[in-house]
Structure 1
Amino acid sequence: MSFDDQQPIDYQNYLPEAPPSFRSTTTEMATTRQTEEVKAAIFMAKQFPRDQQASFNRIMLSCQRKKLAEEAEYEYPKGGSKVSGPSIRLAEVLAQSWGNIDYGLIELEQRNGESKAMAYAWDIETNTRRQIVFTVKHERKAGSTTKQLTEARDVYEVVANMGSRRMRACILGVIPGDIVDAALAECRKTLVNSYTEPLADRVRKAFQQFQEKYGVNKEMIEKCIGCAQDAFTENDYLRIGNIWKSLRDGMGKREDYFDFGAVHVPSAAELEFKAQQEAEKAKADGDPDAAE
């Protein structure tokens, strides 16, 4: 037999196999710890069940805080209409005050420029569980451009941002809907009663902030809300506040709320004519500076 006829030796077959106890010790320890934690949580939930009336009172008391009330509701456009609901901040307060609820966000794996994560909420007392598994690409879109994310911090932020929305949905899935509605109503009531400044002044300042930060003028806001500035109510003020938070948090773009295509940009001739009219009016009113 020649050397060419010899089969290569697979040395892996001759290596000693690691004992099962060595290979699985870490895994078994982690599994045992998690199992014991779950058992302890179930035991405590059964030993100390929630007092629904006390939990409801805690939620109502929390919703009387102005800071929470300002962050309690979001709003964004979808399909020609507006969608609003409780924010992740309110959902977290509901879970904490309702009690015996475990919730969170877990990144399952990360590879090929994307992360696979799971958001969940578990009512330990009633054994009601909601979970959502989703995939997040490591990219950030800005207008028509897409930027690939490579820094660990950027990846964490985009996964946390996408995961917070799923976690909110999971929490709201295990808490009774009437409790959520009552919390939202209490937050709106807190906002209305917590302002000492007149509504007209608050609306005027809001219009100014929209103009300075996002380039949204008075006519755009009035068209979005459907009424003139002088006719704004407390609910209309809350609506533009929700739009402000949505723009600030990146939930939507200004073009989603306001019609920039319908904005009239005055020409140079129009501006000159307007300036002449203002000068003539000032002169007629006896303004000494207008005569110069």
Structure 2
Amino acid sequence: MNELVASPFAGTRNAVADTAGARQDQSRELAETQVKYLMAQQFPRDEIANTDKILNAFTRPTLAEQSQYQFSRGGSDISGPSIRAAEAMAQHWGNIEQGFRERSRGVDGKGVPFSEVEAFCVDLESRTSKRLQFIVKHWRDTRQGGYQIKEERDIYELIANQAQRRVRACILALIPGDVIDAAMQQAEVTLKAKADTSPEAIQKIVAAFEPFGVTKEHIEKRIQRRLDAIQPAQVVSLKRIYASLRDGMSSPSEWFDMDEAAQAGATTTLKDITEKAAAKKASNKKAQTQTEFDQTPQQNPNVEAMIGRINSCTDTDVLDIVADEIRDYEGDDLKRLEDAYRARRAELEAQ
């Protein structure tokens, strides 16, 4: 009589935990996904009307100023839609779901924790999607070296910062290219029409570049003319360069002819400004006596750093960009940041 050989897959059917809670979560997620696709089919987008909405959105000067980034590569200037522009286009294009999620965590060979993150964008109407997976180490590099990030809020902010560019790429992969080009042209027209070349506006531009070690002479050498003769298109270009420096996508030496001393002492991004301000405050706090420390309520260092960024803003438009990050806070921290924002905005408007 032939003997049967035991199946190598025997006993593995129930290897995965199958609890009532897991089945309920899977059923709810499946139902929500089905409803999203069903609603997208029942209410398809009107491409002409939605394109008009996108173009109309980029007639707003505040959005137009944040709509494009610019950096230098291979001797040529490269520009493209920013994450704010991509989010605005996705909102008005309709039937699009986009974002990012942290899939798992682990530790690399050097003992540094990391997160596996996925950025995604799904067109619910055409049922096409774009997904990008990447690794984010819980590590922050500084000029003095680096250190491991342990606070959950810091980890989330690092992941969100890394994910924004991937989310932008996913959104732009699903929205038609001609719609994107039309939106950027509209932003260009809006900026040129609203470009302020008054002496007050020029002083604000010079003040905005100061933290990066860029002086008035550096700017005049780049535009090949005196600042009082600057053209609207050059104002637009300088604002894009500032956005690139602010987001850490380039360094001052890529745009301006800076000497080594100025370049060494320059701060490349607003994050460096925040870190220096936080380090200075931490040093001053450590110098306090134990009695003063006990009498003073401890503050969240992230909130203190954010308040420092708010107070360092020299323009209401830049202030609004920085204030967009306030929504990540809550409770007393949120109240303090809102108070700092209103106070700084009142000061700038009174100038």
Q: Taking structure 1 as the reference length, what is the TM-score of the superposition?
A: 0.76
Q: Which residue of 2 aligns with 1:66?
A: 61
Distance change in 2, residues 1:147/1:228 (3 Å): farther
Show structure 1 runs of 5+ residues with no match: 1-18, 265-292
**1:198-217 alignment to 2 at 5 Å?**
198=197, 202-211=201-210, 213-217=211-215
Distance 1:208 1:228 in 2: 18
Displacement of 1:204 in angstroms is 4.7
Distance 2:202 2:250 in 1: 21
Show structure 2 runs of 5+ residues with no match: 1-13, 108-112, 263-351
Q: Which residue of 1 aligns with 2:103?
A: 108
Q: Which residue of 1 aligns with 2:285?
A: none
Q: Which residue of 2 aligns with 1:246?
A: 244
Q: Which residue of 2 aligns with 1:83?
A: 78
Distance 2:121 2:76 in 1: 29
Q: Which residue of 2 aligns with 1:194?
A: 194
Distance change in 2, residues 1:137/1:88 (3 Å): same
- Which amino acid in the other structure matches residue 149 of structure 1? I
SS in 2 for 1:106: strand
Q: How many residues align?
A: 243
**Matching residue within 49, 72, 75 for 1:54:** 49
Larger radius of gyration: 1
Distance 2:41 2:99 in 1: 21
- Which amino acid in the other structure matches residue 28 of structure 1? R
Distance 1:253 1:157 in 2: 22
Q: Which residue of 1 aligns with 2:170?
A: 170
Q: Which residue of 2 aligns with 1:284?
A: none
1:199 touches 1:234 (CA, 8 Å); kept in 2? Answer: no
**1:1-292 alignment to 2 at 5 Å?**
23-112=18-107, 113-143=113-143, 145-195=145-195, 197-198=196-197, 202-211=201-210, 213-225=211-223, 227-229=224-226, 232-261=230-259
Q: Identical aligned pairs, as a percentage?
A: 37
SS in 2 for 1:158: helix
- Which amino acid in the other structure matches residue 85 of structure 1? G
Distance change in 2, residues 1:158/1:69 (3 Å): same
1:86 touches 1:184 (CA, 8 Å); kept in 2? Answer: yes
Q: Alpha carbon RMSD of aligned pairs, Å?
A: 2.4
Displacement of 1:262 in angstroms is 6.5
Distance 1:245 1:239 in 2: 10
- Which amino acid in the other structure matches residue 235 of structure 2? Y
Deviations 1:74-129, CA, capped at 9 Å, x for gaps: 11223333221101001001001000011110100122211110001111111221
SS in 2 for 1:33: helix
1:108 touches 1:117 (CA, 8 Å); kept in 2? Answer: yes
1:203 touches 1:229 (CA, 8 Å); kept in 2? Answer: no
Determine which structure has greater relative contact order: mean sequence separation of CA pairs < 8 Å that are 6+ residues apart, divided by chain length.
1
Displacement of 1:232 in angstroms is 3.4
Distance change in 2, residues 1:67/1:217 (3 Å): same
Q: Which residue of 2 aligns with 1:273?
A: none
Distance 1:154 1:21 in 2: 33
Q: Which residue of 2 aligns with 1:15?
A: none
Distance 2:256 2:148 in 1: 29
Q: Taking structure 2 as the reference length, what is the TM-score of the superposition?
A: 0.64
2:197 touches 2:231 (CA, 8 Å); kept in 1? Answer: no
1:72 touches 1:86 (CA, 8 Å); kept in 2? Answer: yes
Distance 1:252 1:170 in 2: 22
- Which amino acid in the other structure matches residue 236 of structure 1? Q
2:197 touches 2:232 (CA, 8 Å); kept in 1? Answer: no
Distance 1:32 1:168 in 2: 30
Distance change in 2, residues 1:219/1:262 (3 Å): farther
Displacement of 1:66 in angstroms is 1.4
Distance change in 2, residues 1:20/1:108 (3 Å): closer
Distance change in 2, residues 1:20/1:158 (3 Å): closer
2:100 touches 2:118 (CA, 8 Å); kept in 1? Answer: yes
Distance 1:262 1:138 in 2: 32
SS in 2 for 1:119: strand
- Which amino acid in the other structure matches residue 87 of structure 1? S
Distance 1:164 1:179 in 2: 21
Distance 1:21 1:219 in 2: 66
2:97 touches 2:123 (CA, 8 Å); kept in 1? Answer: yes
